[in-house]
């Protein structure tokens, strides 16, 4: 888990999201609950990078398992499109990668 990626989440409390590369296509996401989520503390999720796929007429290349997150506003499995320095989520939110 040597590769780390840092993202800014503008939709959920402007929180930092850290992705740790576990293997070629699997990442662990660590984040803090934003002030809009009504919970304090941290959460984790698992991101799986995939080939492009269609879901509800949109194209994605990641499926994220949020089942470990205690409070969420969506289903356990959520989709996103990771390209360059952005992760675009199916709810319209976009995480921006920070330089470190």
Tell which residue, 99, 100, 52, 97, has the closest CA to residue 79: 52
> In this predicted model, what pLDDT tens digit does every residue of 40-77 receive, in sequence order?
889 999 999 999 999 999 999 999 999 998 877 778 99
The separation between the first and the last C-alpha atoms of the chain, rounded to the nearest angstrom, is 17
Across residues 21-49, what is the average pLDDT? Answer: 91
Q: Is residue 2 scored above 70 in pLDDT?
A: no
> H/E element holding 46?
strand 42-55
Helix or strand or coil: residue 85?
A: coil
pLDDT band at 1 (very low <50, low <70, confident <90, very high): very low
Q: Which domain holds residue 15?
A: 4-97
DSSP per position, 59-74: EEEEEEE-TT-SS-SS
- Looking at the structure of the chain, the number of domains it has is 1
| Alpha-helical runs (H) found in the chain | none
């Amino acid at each position: 888990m040597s590769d780390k990626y840092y993202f800014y989440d503008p939709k959920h409390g402007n929180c930092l999201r850290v992705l740790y590369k576990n293997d070629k296509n699997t990442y662990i996401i660590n984040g803090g609950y934003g002030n809009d989520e009504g919970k304090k503390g941290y959460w984790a999720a698992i991101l799986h990078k995939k080939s492009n796929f269609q879901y509800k007429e949109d194209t994605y290349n990641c499926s994220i398992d949020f089942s470990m997150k205690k409070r969420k506003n969506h289903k356990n499995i959520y989709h996103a499109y990771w390209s360059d320095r952005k992760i675009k989520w199916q709810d319209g939110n976009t995480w921006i990668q920070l330089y470190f």
